[in-house]
Amino acid sequence: MSDKLTGRDHRSLRRVRYEDELNPQQLAVVMHPGGPMLALAGAGTGKTRTLVYRASRLIEDGVPPGRILLLTFTNKAAREMMRRVEQLLEHGMNRVTGGTFHSAGHRILRRYAEFLGYSPRFSILDREDATDLMGAALADTSPEVPGQRMPKPRLLVDLYSFVINTGHDLADVLSERAPQFIDQGEVIAGVFKRYLERKRAADLMDFDDLLLNWLLLLTRFPRARQELQENFSHILVDEYQDTNRLQADIVDAMLGPERNVMVVGDDAQSIYAFRGADFENILGFPERHPECEVFRLETNYRSVPPILGLANASIEHNTRQFKKLLRPDREGGELPTEVAVPTPEIQATYVADQILELVEEGLELEDVAVLYRNHAHSLDLQVELARRNIPFRVRSGLRFFEHRHVKDVLAHLRFVDNPRDEVAFARLIKLRDGFGPRLAARLWDDLAGADSLRRLLGTDSGSLGLPRPARTSLTQLQTLMDTLSAPKTLGQPGEAIRQVVESFYGPWARAHLENSGSRLEDLEQLALFADGYPDLNAFLSEVTLLNDLSGEEAVAGPPDDMVTLSTVHQAKGIEWRAVFVIWLSEGRFPSFRADDEEEERRLFYVAVTRARDRLCLVRPEIARDRYRVDTILDPSRFLSELPDVVRELVTVAEERRADGYDALPGGGRYTLPSFVDDASGDDDIN
């Protein structure tokens, strides 16, 4: 490309030796003269490197940095790319507009806000503020509809966001994500309209508005569109397979006459449909841009050949894709292993044993990851690692027992087990209609005594002077607590969990929480885990102890040296030397809740391509259902469709552990702090 500003040929002035630093496929992308281009970057093929060198080459050829718009899905990724370009060119990159779609939209809307009827100083709502405003819109619009028949404000915000980002019809979204409210579609649409009116009147935008208003600016105001097209002559988009329909339309509308857009992505890693990502964006890009040139980056620098052979063999079963073949840059490597274990419990024991063997071989815990389809699938493993004092982190940031829905349900069981547990009572009562913190505290004061549960069950709700919604909620709670405190239920903690979910928490979660289906699946897994305990107290004691186990002394190493546990969705973009993929059984991976087999296979592809050196695919053969009946599990179809030559088949026999687990760290003498009242008068505890 020649510099259009000066007319000089910059090829002789380049500081970067592109031919020496890029492979032929990457070089073809970087040196493309212009116009629309799609770079299909397979896993581990140097996608970021290619984007960085493309930006560097454009600047060297005379494109002002300020005319490059770099769109990513995290500001961290944009900053890293700009830092690397700056290193290549040895001059400032501060004029490049780079960041997420939302941050770029924010900067643009500050400049053009008045076109849309906003002031340039408009405020941005965070999620909590948006929920409060949606609640006000609900109160404005549907006072005649009983509250229990409408989604709560938090869920309404999630539904609204999905509709805005995907462009899907509200009725279709309700049918898929909240079918219990399908009959309230017209009322919900009215709430959304009122929510928009309230935002505009108060000069407010939420995160979704940053994209919606950006598109409205481009489609309804030709002057603004022309100025933006002139301002940004080149658009680079990272992870294009993860864009939703709204983001894709924004990119298309930003293109000027020369249509200089480079989108980079991998259709084989399109796994976020549940968030609104549209697979058709990348698949249909060449059709929307007939002059588009398609490039394939296929040289993989991450994984050993046997792992890539397995990945290629799996993804070729998808029919709707751009065909490509990952080729290894590395040599050697061990075959992946497919391991059949008798039960989920033995699966956890096997993985823990293998992790310790890898450490003995010289790997750091930081080099190891365990991946799974659903967060609930990690429960047995989290318990096993905690018992064995093997440090681990969960990519979501929360361990299983720390999740809100798990703590909500456990609060009911804790109160039954210990009627003096004020914290548990406060948590469960505030879930009920009519109870806020103040009224909940007053009720506790009224119930205080030797046995708050007995007092609760024996109290006439009408005698407490509670508002009608609170009285109704209390009566329902009394019925549930009566069931939970029965001797039969106390001896079946799994059934106690199911009672809480079926009688109250399931309907409550569907009305209040996003991803309620996945959360309820978590709770059924919790119930199955609890089925293994003889009574409620034993189960709750174990849960409490497991939460406190740190595993800091099992394996020597730095404080942050931990095994990573992650859903496959959370693991995308990361790599480890050794990866275990667990629960590879039909109904688990692929999930029985999934209706798109090809997306599930892409998810499996993402999982296996996280591994650099070692890959272990584990499947339990039997699992116990809620009726304590052993059910035979078929191998995942993703394993069954693989040729035998791409992995080693291993069967693990059931073994009973004869020894106990490592003891918890402890010992020494403890001196009571002065503020602790020691009734014995002895300040030392042995």
Sheet with 68-72, side-by-side order of all strands:
97-100, 68-72, 234-237, 261-265, 37-41, 293-297
Q: Tell me the three state secondary structure of residue 91.
A: coil
Q: Which of 239, 266, 380, 600 is catalytic?
A: 239
Which residues neighbour 104 within 8 Å (Cβ) at sequence distance 6 or greater? Answer: 69, 71, 97, 98
Known catalytic residue: 349?
A: no
CB 604 within 8 A of CB 373: no
Q: Cα 553 to the chain's mean position, in Å?
A: 30
Q: Which of 25, 26, 45, 47 is catalytic?
A: 47
Mean of the pLDDT values across residues 30-47? Answer: 95
Q: Torsion over CA of 666, 672, 676 and 677, rounded to 10 degrees?
A: 110
- The pLDDT score that the predictor gives to residue 685 is 35
CB count in 10 Å sphere of residue 601: 22
pLDDT tens profile 89-100? 766 555 778 889
Q: Tell me the three state secondary structure of residue 649.
A: strand
Known catalytic residue: 47?
A: yes
The pair of structure tokens assigned to 105 is 């939209």
Q: Name 619's bridge partners.
A: 340
pLDDT tens profile 255-288? 999 999 999 999 999 999 988 999 999 999 999 9
Q: Which of 295-309, 365-379, 457-471, 512-526 has the lowest mean pLDDT?
A: 457-471
Distance between CA atoms of residues 406 and 160, nearest Å: 26
pLDDT tens profile 191-201? 999 999 999 99
pLDDT tens profile 299-344? 999 999 999 999 999 999 999 999 999 999 999 999 999 999 999 9
- The pLDDT score that the predictor gives to residue 518 is 84
Q: Tell me the three state secondary structure of residue 591.
A: strand
Q: Torsion over CA of 214, 215, 216 and 221, rounded to 10 degrees?
A: 90
Q: What are phi and psi of 290, to 5 degrees?
A: -55, -30
- Name the residue type at position 15: R
Q: Which of 84, 199, 373, 610 is catalytic?
A: 610
CB 70 within 8 A of CB 82: yes
Mean pLDDT of the chain: 87
Name the DSSP class of 650.
E
pLDDT tens profile 144-161? 555 557 888 999 999 999
Q: Tell me the three state secondary structure of residue 203.
A: coil
Known catalytic residue: 366?
A: no
Q: Is the pLDDT of residue 624 over 70?
A: yes
Q: Name 337's bridge partners.
A: 616, 648
Which residues neighbour 194 within 8 Å (Cβ) at sequence distance 6 or greater? Answer: 137, 140, 141
- The pLDDT score that the predictor gives to residue 559 is 57
As a whole-number percent, the residues of the chain with pLDDT over 90 amount to: 62
Burial annotation 646-680 (CB, 10 A radius, 16+ → b, else e)? bbeeeebeeeeeeeeeeeeeeeeeeeeeeeeeeee
Known catalytic residue: 239?
A: yes
Distance between CA atoms of residues 660 and 388, nearest Å: 9
Q: Which of 26, 229, 269, 354 is catalytic?
A: 269
- The pLDDT score that the predictor gives to residue 396 is 67
Work out the pLDDT band at 232, boundaries 50, 70, 90: very high
